[in-house]
Amino acid sequence: MTITTHTVGDRVIETTVPVGAHYVEGTTLDPSGPLATGAIVLDEAVAPLAPWSARLTAGQTLTIVDVGGNQSADFLVYNAQDTDERYSTPDTLAWQKNAYLREGSILRSNLGRPLMTVTGNEIDRQDTIGGACSKESNTLRYGFHTEHQHGCRENFLAEAARHGLGARDLVSNINWFMNVPVEADGTLGIVDGMSAPGKRVALRAEMDVLVIVSNCPQMNNPCNDFNCTPLRMIVTAPTDGSDHA
């Protein structure tokens, strides 16, 4: 945790919140492009700290671009036709017998069915163990001075409400571009990222899906490199007429 000192009038405040956190002048931004072939059907920027959602039909691919580098894209996915079927970390990890997500990983539902497949990945490994930040966890971990900050859970709740979903529908999530190493003894860490501006992950929908994303607002640990930056979301559709590219 990095403690910085701010002077406000005649008061000196020690805080874990960096100055000018979204985002610092001179930040390298690389919007990159789609990591899949096909026609672009949606192309949107997600502002730092903000939520986002979209529906994809089976066969479409979502490319998530880490525009500013080391920016965690907290991610949930549901069966768009029946949102009681949703992403399951234990099903996904147990099925593939590995703790990390990589190219080829299949994101499985609580029914064990494929929701999406990782068809492209430009960093070594992706996390689905570290969970999402929240106002409550921030206050417990970093102190009461962070109580005014919203977290990914609040982003998820706000975006989920647009689709008729609520707190009961939030499950353990994926953290694209967040670095959560699992040590030999099983210890977890949330440490400096391994991503960089313009790095991408591509996810092909295996059924019609609803995707909900939080552009993580966390500024009290290194998961966003203490510099919250935008994400770019690009949806492509196969152009060969088949459902699956």
Q: Which is nearer to Zn ion, 116 or 228 (CB)?
A: 228
CB-nearer residue toward Zn ion: 218 or 220: 218
Q: Under the criterion CB under 5 A, does residue 152 sit at the interface with Zn ion?
A: yes
Q: What is the DSSP letter of 188?
A: B
For Zn ion, the closer of residues 34 and 52 by Cβ is: 52
Whether residue 32 contacts residue 201, with contact meaning beta carbons closer than 8 Å, is answered with no
How big is the site for Zn ion, counted in residues (CB under 5 A)? 4
String marking each residue 188-207 x if it binds Zn ion according to CB under 5 A: --------------------
By the rule CB under 5 A, 126 interacts with Zn ion: no
Segment near Zn ion (CB under 5 A); pick from 24-32, 55-63, 102-110, 125-133: 125-133
**CA–CA dist 21, 204 (Å, integer):** 33
The DSSP 8-state label assigned to residue 204 in this structure reads: E
Judged by CB under 5 A, which stretch of 33-41, 80-88, 194-202, 208-216 contacts Zn ion? 208-216
8 Å CB contact between 87 and 77: yes
Residue 214 CB, nearest approach to Zn ion (Å): 6
The region of 80-88, 126-134, 176-184, 203-211 touching Zn ion under the rule CB under 5 A is 126-134
Token pair 């100055």 is found at 19
Instruction: Choose between 41 and 140: whose C-beta lies nearer to Zn ion.
Output: 140
Describe the crossing of helices 152-161 and 135-142 by its angle, rounded to 10 degrees.
170
What Rg, from alpha-carbon coordinates, does the chain have? 18
Please select the residue that binds Zn ion; options are 35, 133, 210, 212, rule is CB under 5 A: 133
- Tell me the three state secondary structure of residue 91: helix
Shortest Cβ distance from residue 74 to Zn ion (Å)? Answer: 5
Residue 74 Cα to chain centre, angstroms: 2
Structural contact between residues 116 and 101, judged by C-beta atoms closer than 8 angstroms: no
- Nearer to Zn ion among residue 64 and residue 133 (C-beta): 133
**Minimum CB separation from Zn ion for residue 173, in Å?**
9
Asked if residues 39 and 245 have their Cβ atoms less than 8 Å apart, the reply is: no
Q: Which of residues 209-228 bind Zn ion (CB under 5 A)?
A: 216, 218
Minimum Å gap between C-beta 151 and Zn ion is: 5
Measure CA of the first residue to CA of the last residue in the chain; give whole Å. Answer: 44
| DSSP element (H, E) containing 6 | strand 4-8
Least distance in angstroms from the C-beta of 146 to Zn ion: 12
Two tokens, residue 64? 């998530």
Residues that bind Zn ion (CB under 5 A): 133, 152, 216, 218
